[in-house]
Structure 1
Amino acid sequence: MAHIKSRKHTVARALPSRLSQTTAALALMAMPAAVFAQQAGPAATDTLPAVKVKAAVENDYKAEKSSSPKFTQPLVDTPQTITVIKKEILLQQGATTLSEALRNTPGITFQMGENGNTQTGDSIFMRGFDTQQSIFVDGIRDVGSVSRDTFNLEQIEVVKGPAGADIGRGSPTGYINLSTKVPTLVDAASGSVTIGSGSKKRVTGDFNTSVPALGDGTAVRLNVMKEDSGKVERDYVKNESWAFAPSLALGLNTPTRTYLYYLHVEQDNIPDGGMTVFGMPGYRLSNDQQTALTAAGVGSVAAPSRSNFYGLASDYDRVKVDMFTARIEHDLKPGVTVRNISRFGRTEQKYVLTGVNAVNVGNSTSSTNATTGVVTVTPAPAGVSASDPSTWIVARSRQGKNQENQILTNQTSLNADITAWGLKHSIVSGIEFMQEKQSALGFSTSGTNTPANLYNPDRNASFATVNPSGARTTGQTTTAAVYAFDTLKINEAFQVNGGLRFEKYKTTYDNVAAAQTVESLGKVGDLVTWKLGALWKPATNGSVYIAYGTSQKPPGSDSGTLSSSTTSANNPNVDPSEASNIEIGTKWDLLDNRLAVTAALYRATNKNDVVAQDTVTNEVIALGEKRVDGIELSAAGMITNEWQLSTGLALMETEITSTNNALQQGGELPWSPKLAFTSWTTYKLPYGVLVGGGARYQKSALRSSNNTVFTSAGLSRMPSYWVFDAMASYDVTKNVSVQLNVYNLADKFYFQSMNSGGSRATIGAPRSATLTANVKF
């Protein structure tokens, strides 16, 4: 598991010193800027020839390669959409969680939960599909549905498109890899102290030093983090966490390098169960609510205060993470390296939170039995009057979780650059063994779920208690895989990339009911996934490519959970879902290779992710097809030595092309905005001043695929929004700087995430600010 943390907050650092002379670019695709040089002066009586000197300026936004050894070529020569978010841009933005970091790539949305449950952790949708179980740390699958902190990350890599050949089972639209900080031979120390809106308090430190006494090439590093923060305009919500990550490196700058590192995180939060969306822009009253309000002469309703907390004083969310990693690299000879990485990780999460459900405005509630058609009417609750808004109530539910996830893995790979029959090959091959376990205890509630007053909720109200029920589940997936990749350079202008992965998996699942009856399920299978690409380089700094890739997701992929339900994708009797992606794109390093510009056109298809039972044979089968067509544009890097930019634009058209549900045939995929845009830019002024800002836009997104007019209460779509942020920093000395970040400058009301029923949401932070003091040596 990776580091965890909750929502929005800040950290910062100073940018590298500027050059004395620069040239501004007029537009993103401007011609390369001229490079100015200094001229050496004469020595004594001799006149020396002029020497042009190009000063190196750190490029905080543009990455040259992926951290994964499976990608052997620079990003500009890799035929796939890969966005690398470096730690420097996160520090400028004050992005401290993975969810905040992912705002730097377009087309990613977040879901709050479904079926009455509130989702915790990084619930990520990418290109229309759930990607929560496709998060990796240093190329190893991360376990647990928790929120991850960025304090120990070097960079975040977002790989889009089916990537089964890279990672095995997973999301049909890609994965996210978190690259961990490790020791170097450069002695350095830095720290930040942040205060801000919402009672935010955060401290981080990063300390690296070489240790010659332990041998040449030895270094140690320690990253630490402590946070104690509220949430802006959200009463009682608290984010409290601390973490440390020590690491040791041996043999740096030698043929054999060893890295040993450990991560420990603890979190003790008061969770945010969300807000009811009643009365908010776009909210639709149910027929029962409208009838009652019309009869009472009430023409409009007001939304409750965004600060209202509908949880209880006893709500909590506690997480503990431990991760041990050992990595060894050995250069057999120039161009040939063998690597081995082993990891044991464990994530424990225990929480009790109060979820928000339907609002009652003094209305009766009618429901129809789907089988018999009988309509049942429940009268309005006592004491609730449609004519008196102060009596309106919102139903609440108690939810609990006590879950532990473990992963144990060993992976070995070989990278070799060879020449055969006059052709250059960059070959990667490897073998992986992995065991994942998940165990969870069941809960039951006793007592009454007391509704909350809609406009004046009481967190101390008596409420049903959550108790262990005696039920428990245990799931385990064991995987063995082999893979091979090759980048074949035909000549300087043409290359072909290919990859193939074969893996064998076994999943077992035991579901023990409260009555101690046991349901045992299992699934054994093989997966074969592959990718193929062709790339043409019309110039040394650019490429044009076409690529095709596949992925598969078998039952039990989500932490070893299987189900006997005849409509569940985790039913062990069904075949894996299958995804494919074809992509045509181009990549260019412009402005003297300082600015990376990319464009890609893709079609992603996912099959067999709907499960149904044949009415004749009673066989449980997988069927259905979903399609996503899209365009992505991006740019990242330096326009001048002072001006840096990171921006991206995504357009998507989604469709359910085949299903057994007539209401969804031809519908859009939920959480898939047709247009999304993100941008962040900074400019270095004289006297150590840095200014910057960003903008994010997301078009509205459906929360359900049904092709019907919504008649239930709530929102049918997550509304579109623009959000603008800004920052400024000042170098007090060469070692000390201060940074101010202001978020949501226009104080825009928007939804950060929403549940699938459209009744509750997490509200984006209003206008807020943080102030950070940074020290570095």
Structure 2
Amino acid sequence: MKQTSKTSIRDIVSTREAIALATLLSVAHSTAAEPAKKEEAGNQKKQGQDGAVLDEVTVSATRSNPYNPQRVQSQKFTAPLVNTPQTISVIPKEVFNQQGAQGLADVLKNTPGITFLAGENGHVGGANSMNIRGFEASSNIFIDGVRDNGNYGRDIFNVESVEVVKGPAGDNGRGSTGGYINLATKTPQAESFYSGTAAYKFDETDANDHQRLTLDMNQVIENGPVPGMAFRLNALLQGGGVQGRDYAENNSWGLAPSVAFGLGTETRLTLAYQYWEQNNRPDIGFPGSAVPDTTSPVRPGGYVDRENFYGLTSDFDDVTSHTIYARFEHDFNDRLRFNNLTRYSLTDREAIYTVLGAFTAPDTVGRSRQAFYRETETFTNQSNITAEFETGSVGHTFAGGLEVAREKAHNPRDFVTASLGVPGGTNIYDPDTGTPVAADPTYNWVDDITVDTVAIYANDTLKFNEQWQASIGTRLEYFDAEARYKQEASGIVTRYQSDDLIFSGKAGIVFKPKENGSIYAAYGMSALPPGASSLSNDNGSRSTGGPTVPGGPLTGNNNLDSDVQKSYNYEVGTKWEFFDKNLTTSLAIFRSERENVSVGPNDPVTGEPTAYGDQVVTGVELGASGYVNENWMVFGGVSYLESENQDGNDLTFNPDWTANLWTTYRFPIGVTIGAGARYTASTAARVDAASGAATATLPESLIFDAMVSYELTKNVTLRLNVNNLTDEFYARTVNTAADSRRAYLGESRTYTLSADWKF
């Protein structure tokens, strides 16, 4: 395991400045080596070879609209988004780059119905632990269509778009009820370009400023050994503080080279690698009792500075991630295509951090130290056939395939508190950041979990005529999980094994009253077998779910003999494209159900649930994305949810209203202005089962953002982002303790100066 010493941004720069310098020099060299631009055609007549004057020919092309994508990355979807009977939000890089986003959590502010959780037991607070439409979805994050296990915040420097698919996640196998998230990474293109962003971020508090440099270069290789070659490199270097928070740091760097062969030909191969490293001093939260409108029985009598850091300067949260990717594609003809994707990832996260306890009047807040360690490894191979054909008068767009995967996690847990150093309580107004430096933590257990899956799937869009279509999809998956639990003190190893055959599917009917619109009704189902979330859950620091004695039982839904959770989704909706298909709007009414959720006490001998319950969420969601006219772009959505569990109470972290809007307008003088708003209604973080009353509450928030940019030249744009324009003091999330003891604050009013360049 790693040593506990921290790596500062100065250390990162000093050890990697050569890489950054070499990268920038390569960009400059490549730009200088670019052939001179062809002379633009003027408004003049051209002469033919015989000297005759020829009529001028004007060639025009439809402007691409990155703000209104027509399809998702996955070839499992067999219809354009406007004809897909399901709610899907595609957030392109053009949107989140304008906003100065850095991580996945920043991007997900652009879609309604998502609520972040507080990071219990090692989860990254407010980053990778989330609900979608009221249901926990931390184990349903995918990259390029492959499940990305692990408990870490994800950077977006190598991300082309983020796709949020609502409803049961059966497209990719076992899944939750609310939906899943897919990150589509950047790959080589058939046109050379060189771009990047240098950003400087600061606020009005004493927090350290933050710097971020990204590079995205794509070079077509002329006269290569095979036709259609291109090389792409994405790079990241960032470091500095967290706005509004003393001492916290966010440092990382990454490189993502890729090469493609055969672009523009019938046979294509793409090879890619990504390395990303994080060295953070984590922000472990702020006393919830000092946040207005939280549910807290005891509150401090004086003002508590929002900048106060309650962790220790020796806290750290380190991640290293390696990904290898290969995609082979072949077009047999215009109607039959094959592709194969192989992806391997290895992610290692280790953290020691200080956690807030209860506030005790008049001025003391409790603290304890925790540790987290998990190594996750995933190998996946997917083969897919896409075909277009007819059966009689019915047209088909078919996609089917085979997927095999092995997912593994190595997870020391149940740390010995004394091995971390005990910080004790601290003054809520003037916290002590003293440093009981810990050696490598001691763990009582080491868990090794392996999940093997083999799945076949088939999806088909049937076109009956110009007005009527149907979409059908099925997936049959064999799930085999093995768990090995070793008690360190005795050396005793206990093994568990479980396997299930999982069926998931969806069906929808689509009516198109006009070519630019659709009305649909759809049904979907998915399943979650026992232990399916063990690779990404939050049990890395404690014994929750795992055996507490050798040979002891697994408990609740982790018990391998518990019932398979089933999810069902019913949805009716409509989608319309306006302004020459540049703007898409959507409306969906839905009902999501989950059954076989462990709710009662577990059997003391077997660990099996003694009672199960059901959970239901019904709601309405509206969305809009694209151009209103040539200069005006909008991207936004509104969601209303109602929920109920087996007790008749609301589900936690399930606000009834959430909404987001981002809009920009470009003036002829090269100035673009943008504005955004994000609203989250108050929601319960903990509910008393008997009374239904909220004993912990996440207060409502309404946050405004603004942006202005100026095209300094045709290649360089200067941009200023101001987030939290009104400097609201708000919590992004709170933990589930009855006294709301820990809150994660949203950033203070923050300014980001950026220079975007592209050649």
Q: What's the TM-score once normalised by structure 2's chain length?
A: 0.87
Instruction: Note if 1:101 corresponds to 2:107.
Output: yes
User: Out of 401, 417, 431, which is 1:445 matched to?
Assistant: 417
Cα 1:89–1:566 change in 2 (3 A) is same
Does structure 2 retain, via aligned residues, the 8 Å contact 1:563–1:572?
Answer: no
Task: Tell me what 2:477 maps to.
Answer: 503
Alignment of 1:134-173 (within 5 A): 134-164=140-170, 166-173=171-178
User: Out of 459, 463, 471, which is 1:489 matched to?
Assistant: 463
Output the aligned Cα RMSD.
Answer: 2.6
User: Counterparts of 1:222 and 1:687 in 2: how far apart (Å)?
Assistant: 32
Q: C-alpha deviations, 1:401-441, integer Å up to 9, x for none?
A: 12100001111010000112221111111011000000012
Q: What SS does the aligned partner of 1:603 have?
A: strand
User: Counterparts of 1:774 and 1:111 in 2: how far apart (Å)?
Assistant: 33
Task: Tell me what 2:18 maps to.
Answer: none
Instruction: Note if 1:647 corresponds to 2:627.
Output: no
Task: Tell me what 2:514 maps to.
Answer: 539
Cα deviation for residue 709 of structure 1 reads: 6.3
Cα deviation for residue 314 of structure 1 reads: 1.1
Cα 1:50–1:668 change in 2 (3 A) is farther
Cα 1:122–1:284 change in 2 (3 A) is closer
Instruction: Note if 1:628 corresponds to 2:638.
Output: no
Task: Tell me what 2:450 maps to.
Answer: 476
User: Out of 282, 307, 311, which is 1:271 matched to?
Assistant: 282
Q: C-alpha deviations, 1:656-705, integer Å up to 9, x for none?
A: 1x2xxxxxx11001111101110000001122111111011111111023
Instruction: Note if 1:396 corresponds to 2:367.
Output: yes
Task: Tell me what 1:415 maps to.
Answer: 386
Q: C-alpha deviations, 1:43-75, integer Å up to 9, x for none?
A: 99x999999986633423111111110112111
User: Counterparts of 1:539 and 1:285 in 2: how far apart (Å)?
Assistant: 54
Task: Tell me what 1:589 maps to.
Answer: 577
Task: Tell me what 2:432 maps to.
Answer: 458
Code of the residue aligned with 2:306 in structure 1: it is: R
Q: Which moved more, 1:539-548 or 1:469-478?
A: 469-478
User: Counterparts of 1:580 and 1:172 in 2: how far apart (Å)?
Assistant: 7
Cα deviation for residue 339 of structure 1 reads: 0.8
Task: Tell me what 1:676 maps to.
Answer: 658
Does structure 2 retain, via aligned residues, the 8 Å contact 1:280–1:302?
Answer: no
Alignment of 1:171-320 (within 5 A): 171-197=176-202, 198-212=208-222, 213-286=224-297, 301-320=301-320
Cα 1:43–1:328 change in 2 (3 A) is closer
Cα deviation for residue 623 of structure 1 reads: 1.7
Q: C-alpha deviations, 1:130-168, integer Å up to 9, x for none?
A: 11110101110001111111111111110000131x111
Q: What SS does the aligned partner of 1:569 have?
A: helix
Cα deviation for residue 517 of structure 1 reads: 2.6
User: Counterparts of 1:102 and 1:572 in 2: how far apart (Å)?
Assistant: 33
Q: C-alpha deviations, 1:733-763, integer Å up to 9, x for none?
A: 1111110000111111111121111211110
User: Counterparts of 2:64 and 2:124 in 1: how far apart (Å)?
Assistant: 42
Does structure 1 retain, via aligned residues, the 8 Å contact 2:291–2:730?
Answer: no
User: Counterparts of 1:412 and 1:754 in 2: how far apart (Å)?
Assistant: 42
Does structure 2 retain, via aligned residues, the 8 Å contact 1:533–1:547?
Answer: yes
Task: Tell me what 1:342 maps to.
Answer: 342
Cα 1:523–1:176 change in 2 (3 A) is same
Q: What SS does the aligned partner of 2:557 have?
A: coil
User: Counterparts of 1:71 and 1:477 in 2: how far apart (Å)?
Assistant: 26
Cα 1:216–1:50 change in 2 (3 A) is closer
Q: What SS does the aligned partner of 1:171 have?
A: coil
Gaps of 5+ in 2: 1-41, 203-207, 538-544, 548-552
Code of the residue aligned with 2:731 in structure 1: it is: F
Q: C-alpha deviations, 1:259-316, integer Å up to 9, x for none?
A: 1001100110101111111233124553xx59xxxxxxxxx72342111111112111
Cα 1:734–1:270 change in 2 (3 A) is same
Q: What SS does the aligned partner of 2:98 have?
A: helix
Task: Tell me what 1:570 maps to.
Answer: 558
Cα 1:501–1:438 change in 2 (3 A) is same
Instruction: Note if 1:559 corresponds to 2:534.
Output: yes
Does structure 1 retain, via aligned residues, the 8 Å contact 2:400–2:459?
Answer: yes
Code of the residue aligned with 1:277 in structure 2: it is: G
Code of the residue aligned with 1:195 in structure 2: it is: Y
Q: C-alpha deviations, 1:551-592, integer Å up to 9, x for none?
A: 101111113586455752111011210000010000011111
User: Out of 44, 53, 75, which is 1:69 matched to?
Assistant: 75
**How many residues are treated as equivalent by the alignment?**
688
Q: What SS does the aligned partner of 1:704 have?
A: strand
Cα deviation for residue 624 of structure 1 reads: 0.7
User: Counterparts of 1:120 and 1:747 in 2: how far apart (Å)?
Assistant: 19
Q: What SS does the aligned partner of 1:538 have?
A: coil
Code of the residue aligned with 2:685 in structure 1: it is: R
Q: What SS does the aligned partner of 1:103 have?
A: helix
Cα 1:537–1:488 change in 2 (3 A) is same
Instruction: Note if 1:755 corresponds to 2:702.
Output: no
Cα 1:344–1:517 change in 2 (3 A) is same
Cα deviation for residue 466 of structure 1 reads: 6.1
Q: What SS does the aligned partner of 1:99 have?
A: helix
Does structure 2 retain, via aligned residues, the 8 Å contact 1:278–1:304?
Answer: no
Instruction: Note if 1:527 corresponds to 2:527.
Output: no
Code of the residue aligned with 1:171 in structure 2: it is: S
User: Counterparts of 2:605 and 2:283 in 1: how far apart (Å)?
Assistant: 46
Q: C-alpha deviations, 1:709-731, integer Å up to 9, x for none?
A: 6999xx72111111000011111
User: Counterparts of 1:117 and 1:58 in 2: how far apart (Å)?
Assistant: 39
Does structure 1 retain, via aligned residues, the 8 Å contact 2:227–2:262?
Answer: yes
User: Out of 718, 739, 751, which is 2:719 matched to?
Assistant: 739
Task: Tell me what 1:22 maps to.
Answer: none
Task: Tell me what 1:327 maps to.
Answer: 327
Does structure 2 retain, via aligned residues, the 8 Å contact 1:280–1:303?
Answer: no
Instruction: Note if 1:436 corresponds to 2:407.
Output: yes
Q: What SS does the aligned partner of 2:513 have?
A: strand
Does structure 2 retain, via aligned residues, the 8 Å contact 1:626–1:654?
Answer: yes
Does structure 2 retain, via aligned residues, the 8 Å contact 1:273–1:311?
Answer: yes
Cα deviation for residue 186 of structure 1 reads: 0.1
Does structure 2 retain, via aligned residues, the 8 Å contact 1:398–1:466?
Answer: no
User: Counterparts of 1:61 and 1:330 in 2: how far apart (Å)?
Assistant: 29
Q: What SS does the aligned partner of 2:442 have?
A: strand
Does structure 2 retain, via aligned residues, the 8 Å contact 1:567–1:613?
Answer: no
Q: What's the TM-score once normalised by structure 1's chain length?
A: 0.85
Cα deviation for residue 120 of structure 1 reads: 7.5
Does structure 1 retain, via aligned residues, the 8 Å contact 2:593–2:617?
Answer: yes
Cα 1:615–1:217 change in 2 (3 A) is closer
Cα 1:285–1:697 change in 2 (3 A) is closer
Aligned identity (percent) is: 38
Q: What SS does the aligned partner of 1:136 have?
A: strand
Does structure 2 retain, via aligned residues, the 8 Å contact 1:610–1:622?
Answer: yes
User: Counterparts of 1:52 and 1:183 in 2: how far apart (Å)?
Assistant: 30
User: Counterparts of 1:761 and 1:264 in 2: how far apart (Å)?
Assistant: 32
Instruction: Note if 1:133 corresponds to 2:107.
Output: no
Task: Tell me what 2:704 maps to.
Answer: 724
Q: C-alpha deviations, 1:202-226, integer Å up to 9, x for none?
A: 1000010111223210111000000
Q: C-alpha deviations, 1:432-485, integer Å up to 9, x for none?
A: 100000001233122544111111111115487662235211101000000111
User: Counterparts of 2:601 and 2:108 in 1: how far apart (Å)?
Assistant: 38
